Structure 1
Amino acid sequence: MKFSLSVTMAVLLGSTAAFAQTADLPQQGNEWFTSAQETLQQLVERQENTNRALNVILFVADGNGVGTNYATRLFEGQQQGGLGDDHNLPQDEFPYSALVKTYSANGQTPDSAPTATAMNSGIKTKNDLINVTDNVAVGDCAAGLENGVRTFAEIVSDMDKSVGVISTARITHATPAAVYARTADRDFEDDTLIPEGCEQDDIALQLYQQMENGVIDLAMGGGRRHFITTDTTDAEDSAGVREDSQNLAQMAVDNLSASYVQTQEEFDALDLTAEGPILGLFEPSHMQYEADRSGEPSLAEMTTAAIEKLSQNDNGYYLEVEAGRVDHANHAGNAARVLTDGVAFAEAIRVADEMTDDADTLIIVTSDHEHAIAFNGYCGRGSDILGLCMQVNGDGIEALDEPNMASDALPYTVIGYLNGAGSVLVEQIPDEAETSAATDVDTGEASPEAGAPIYSGDRSAIADADVTDIDYLQQALIPMSSETHSGEDVAVYAKGPWAHLFDGTIEQNVIFHVMHHAATAGEATSN
């Protein structure tokens, strides 16, 4: 203790001297300088929280890496009338952060199954596997049944905590499924998708079973079709897909006294004090994008309801909240919907932060992976993040009213993608007479075979496009029907008990270990 106190005093005295030395600097009155001094003071005064975490909330914006987070920051800031880049999302203001390596056991670029497994079970595994070890071949049901791991939800349930999972994707999709399921293939969402001879239960059935086991107390998202049978219609008159005669939604009501809701009206009428779990299934497949949302709750509304429900347990809770459609809009190359859902994610974080106490609640904000999103330069400040890259203003701060031009004399958007449906390379089928399989003597490259498709670039459409339109697809390079994930690092932001353990660059599975440590170490707080 004496050593720790002396170290603390040395730091404080050193920082005081540092502040004093700035009095002689000519830049001391500059607003950037004074703002940085205020930040430094906050860092010096920061105190580590080593309480035991009563509650753990894990926020995952699927596909929301550092780049996508940056774009969302500018988008929200510009919506509020600012230039955007100096704006902060709620997670940007969390005191602790780290970079996270997202590769899987067999993939330099992962999908959401192994990344969600890393966060919920503490191990890395192969692409397409959920909560089974990496010595299982994808689709090997027998091996999957023998090599399952124990999840954080099951661990804290044994501590008498409540557990909830929310997603704007199907609740049986990879990221939410990792809270409660084990599967040799992420695609086994209902009984019709289980191959013949496979004895593994499908993912929707496993959610029902985990409710029955008392592990899952609340689940909200899309994916209704996987829970009801082909002879059952839902609130939208859509039939289910199950062929095993098990209407899991109705079974939850009949057998578990669950509250089952499908619409905004039913959600609004929920009795959050009622006994039994809550099952909210608001779409046959994924929930709507926030820009198109109608007749179903927002991510912030579901988060609010979940915290109100789960916090009734004096022993605390674990809640995972996924903004699943950030990923889907990135796959589509549709930046406007990416950022609209990103702002909805930020609002869910804000309400959770307001409803909880830093003294006893660990809040973690992260992503499972990034996408092949990119940002063009050199854009002046205030360039619309969904618009064209405008010229830097040498005489002032805000960008000029003139776009930058590429070598083809055409403007370009701030956001682009390395690959995707918005590719500027247009497929053409050449005449046989115009092509051969011979090697080009000038380039040393093989020419395409006769009749094979070739691609040529064409960016001319951008001249007349409304690039800020909600349906606009950002220009991409490599032609693909669906833009791909990226293997680069994502960020993790944290506050609350043991949040200071997030530091430096970490493996993704370390997130589980910090959550587990926070929930079991330190001293419990008295409220």
Structure 2
Amino acid sequence: MRCLVLTFLISAAFALSEDDGKTYWMEQAQQTLRNAILQRHNMKVAKNVILLLGDGMGVSTVTAARIYKGQKAGQTGEETQLNFEKWPHVALSKTYNTDRQVPDSAGTATAYLCGAKANYATLGVDSRVARADCSNIGDTDTHTTSILDWSLAAGKSVGLVTTARVTHATPGAGYAHTPERNWETDKDIPDSCPGVKDIAYQLLKDNADIHVMLGGGRREFYNRKDGRKLPEEWLADKQEKGLLAKYVQNATAFRAVSAADTDYLLGLFAESHMTYELSRDNSEEPSLSEMTRKAIEILQKNNKGFFLLVEGGRIDHGHHDNYAKRALEETVAFDDAVAVAMEMTGDNTLLVVTADHSHVFNIAGYASRGNNILGLVDKVDEVQKTVDNMPYTTLVYANGPGPGREQNLTGVDTTADDYRFQRLVPFQPEWETHGGEDVGIYATGPMSHLFHGVHEQNYIAHVMAYASCVGPNNKHCENPEDEYSCSGATAVVNCAVVVHMIIIPMIVCLLVKNMHTM
């Protein structure tokens, strides 16, 4: 124990700043290396799994949000870390749909929630179902099941939290089966597809066993051809069965909900998507962090554990409108929800952060370190001088509704909440498109080391299932002593790390002892 304490003190002694030049960077890297060597894989069964999905949160968005977060705190920004960037395991996800190089949020959600890649704009069905083609939607063999289904079958509680509509693409893949993501209410379904169920109906009628549903999209449950009021029907059904259920529509009612006497919670806080964080009325809509906290409080009452999906849905929308500041503010708010998940769970919970896709959003120029990430590039020399001799921003889009280079940015406040950043290809009045590059997977907790390289996106669902012993990956749980012990081949690396955790402190002690006797 004394040696371990000594090792910590030796590490803590190197509290250097960047002003120390190469000494700082050498020790910073050495400390990171020591941490990596001492890292031990968590081989436990995950009692809980929380998937935190930043919609549209590509690598460039993560980088820009990191800088934005730091600059909001008065730092230069580049050295800042988002909470999930501190986690030990990082991989990449290949996001293409089975029929598109650049994906949408429906086909991708089907991949990471259901374990099978799918076509563009389809939800909860495999690649045999094409977009808006209802000819074979009645064939249940084409339907996929999700990590929500698998967790419920194992006796766990499940929930979904989003700042988008609860019937939108990301949450929809967890419970719906439809060839068209936009069929959110029965008014959206064409007459040529009789008998097809809309997404709102499927959520509250076919998936009434989901314990927590929080987000926007109230209109999809009321503005209906059939005239039904689905939330009231959902609540009445729960009350008739003697279940502890609540339905809330604003932040005040939401904050009054006690997890102790609530097992089922439906919260619909906006007619469509919830308000951007920069404009959110705190008295009307709870934050993503608040919704995450309440969901965990309710779900964790189940001693068998839970699965929770948390979506920062409006990162995507900010980018689509070329509102870079709004997208970055949404990303920081999403990171705050990550912090809540970390605070409220322990080493029995697998936490995964990823994105469904990226955007055509980039960081360019050679601005000075600490230059406002939303501002104009401040270092312009002959190498990077523009042909039109006009200033330009660090952040830029390849396409979208924003202005082009015809806009002279001299005197323009590019840090304003609703400033649309410049783009190359004009798409007005349409949205900017998604990007097709890989996105990050960040993980910590049981079996998080299984995210280890470049993966197909559907792999994410299989890791979550394996870690929590649900769905198609529960065979190993029948005899966990063999699977997770040092006698198994799968645990060789883990056992080697344990040895390192013993050997390295001993070496440090010996070195210190020798120095003392010299």
Which range, TM-score by smaller chain?
Answer: 0.7 to 0.9
Question: Which residue of 355, 358, 365 corresponds with 1:377?
Answer: 365
Instruction: Pick one of 345, 356, 359 that aligns with 1:356.
Output: 345
The separation in 1 between residues aligned to 2:201 and 2:135, in whole angstroms, is 18
Distance 2:293 2:115 in 1: 27
**Alignment equivalent of 2:181, drawn from 186, 191, 216:** 186
Q: How many residue pairs align between the two structures?
A: 442
* Match among 388, 395, 400 for residue 408 of structure 1: 388
How much has 1:374 moved relative to structure 2?
1.3
Change (3 A) 1:37 1:392: farther
Which one of the candidate residues 32, 39, 43 is aligned to 1:46?
39
Q: 1:381·1:392 contact (CA, 8 Å) conserved in 2?
A: no
The match for 2:490 is: none
1:208 corresponds to 2:211 = no
Structure 1 residues 34 and 226: CA distance shift in structure 2, 3 A: same
Tell me what 1:445 maps to.
Answer: none
Q: Who is 1:4 aligned against?
A: none
Aligned to 1:280: 267
CA contact (8 A) 1:181 1:203 kept: yes
The aligned counterpart of 1:366 is 354
8 Å CA contact 1:404–1:411 kept in 2: the answer is no
What TM-score comes out, normalization by structure 2 length?
0.83
Mapped to 2, the partners of 1:280 and 1:28 lie a distance apart of: 52
Among residues 136, 148, 159, which one is paired with 2:143 in the alignment?
Answer: 148
Conserved in 2, the CA contact under 8 Å of 1:289 and 1:337? yes
Judge conservation of contact 2:403–2:420 (CA < 8 Å) in 1: no
Q: Deviations over 1:274-329 (max 9, x none)?
A: 25411000000000000000011000000000000000000000000000000000
SS of the equivalent of 1:48 reads coil
- Give, in angstroms, the shift of residue 272 of structure 1: 1.6
- What is the rounded CA distance, in whole Å, between the counterparts of 2:374 and 2:447 in structure 1? 37
Structure 2 counterpart SS, 1:60: strand
Same amino acid, percent of matched pairs: 42
- Give SS of 1:144's match: coil
Determine which of 319, 326, 331 is the counterpart of 1:330: 319
How far off is 1:29 after superposition? Answer: 6.2
* 1:470 paired residue number: 417
1:328-373 C-alpha deviation (Å, 9 max, x unpaired)? 000000011011111100000001101000x210000000000000
2:407 matched to 1:459? yes
Q: How does 1:467-506 map to 2 (within 5 A)?
A: 467-481=414-428, 482-506=431-455
Paired residue type of 1:193: D
1:427-442 maps to which residues of 2 (within 5 A)? none
| Aligned-partner Cα distance in 2 for 1:198–1:124 | 26
The secondary structure found in structure 2 opposite 1:73 is helix
Q: Could you tell me which runs of 5 or more consecutive residues in structure 1 were left unpaired when the two chains were aligned.
A: 1-26, 229-240, 394-402, 425-456
Q: Which runs of 5+ in 2 are unaligned?
A: 1-19, 240-244, 470-475, 485-518
Q: Aligned partners of 1:152 and 1:405: how far apart in 2? A: 51
Larger helix fraction of residues: 2
Distance 1:245 1:385 in 2: 49
Structure 1 residues 275 and 466, CA gap change in structure 2 (3 angstroms): closer
Cα deviation, residue 472, structure 1: 0.5
* 1:137 CA displacement: 2.0
Partner of 2:9: none
Cα shift at 1:182: 1.2
Contact (CA 8 Å) 2:205, 2:234: kept in 1 or not?
no
In structure 1, C-alpha distance between the alignment counterparts of 2:375 and 2:402, rounded to whole Å:
15
Q: CA deviation at 1:155?
A: 0.8
Q: Distance in 2 between matches of 1:512 and 1:303?
A: 20
Contact kept? 2:263, 2:298, Cα under 8 Å: no
Greater shift after overlay, 250-259 or 121-130? 250-259
2:70 counterpart of 1:77 = yes
After TM superposition, the score normalised by the length of structure 1 is 0.81
Paired with 1:375 and 1:332, the residues of 2 have a C-alpha distance of: 17
Deviation at 1:405, TM superposition (A): 4.6
342-351 or 516-525, larger mean C-alpha shift:
516-525
